[in-house]
Structure 1
Amino acid sequence: MVDIEDTGPIITAILDDPEKYVGQDICMCGEAIQFSDVAKVFTKVTGVPASVKTLTEAEYRLGMQFAPKFIQDEFLAMFQWFQEYGYYGKDKDWTTGKQLTGLNTFEQWLKKNGWKGQ
């Protein structure tokens, strides 16, 4: 997860010293949080009960029935990729962005924005 407001400081750091970062992968991730923990953190911060449910493929397709099948297939493949390889891939260091600047965690983002899920 990444707070969109954290992108500016990372881009600034790269532009301030481009020779240092040319050719490097900079992964922006405030924290690697398990999907099941998102609901726990949300409930802790907001006081609003939340739960997580992993959908079966049939449930997913039912919820995406408004989209053409090829779009459903593409999204499903993307989610399967994330599950197997993570967002950046198995061998990427997702902390490289944190080495440039402090990045907000999901909990910090919730507290900062006051989002309650509405």
Structure 2
Amino acid sequence: MDLAPDAFARDCASRVVLDRIGDRWTVLIVVALSDGALRFSQLRSKIEGITPKVLTQTLRALERDGLVTRTVFAEVPPRVEYELTDLGRDLLAPIDAIRVWAEDHAARIVANRERHDG
């Protein structure tokens, strides 16, 4: 029996991982946390267009998957910081490669869309 991961197989766990990584907010949150821990409000300011509800849901999912840690500091008012785990930092290189590719090719893709739709 072959138990090697196969993202094309319906029951392969790697599909769940690809769904997480493929979420647009996940990518932005991981990149936003690449320089170190941030508070919720700092993340929200850094990632334009994300709603508090979606940021909360995505952070919880990333924490559940072991990509982000949430640290609560016993202060008044309480301070909460989010930071990438080692696993989350391992994700930075592939995400950064995709980000660079997207930035390098965005103009061509926009032009292709305009030509196609025009």
Q: Same fold (TM over 0.5)?
A: no
Q: Which has the higher strand share?
A: 2
Q: Which has the higher helix share?
A: 2
Normalising by structure 1, report the TM-score.
0.30
Q: More relative contact order in 1 or in 2 (CA 8 Å, sep 6+)?
A: 1
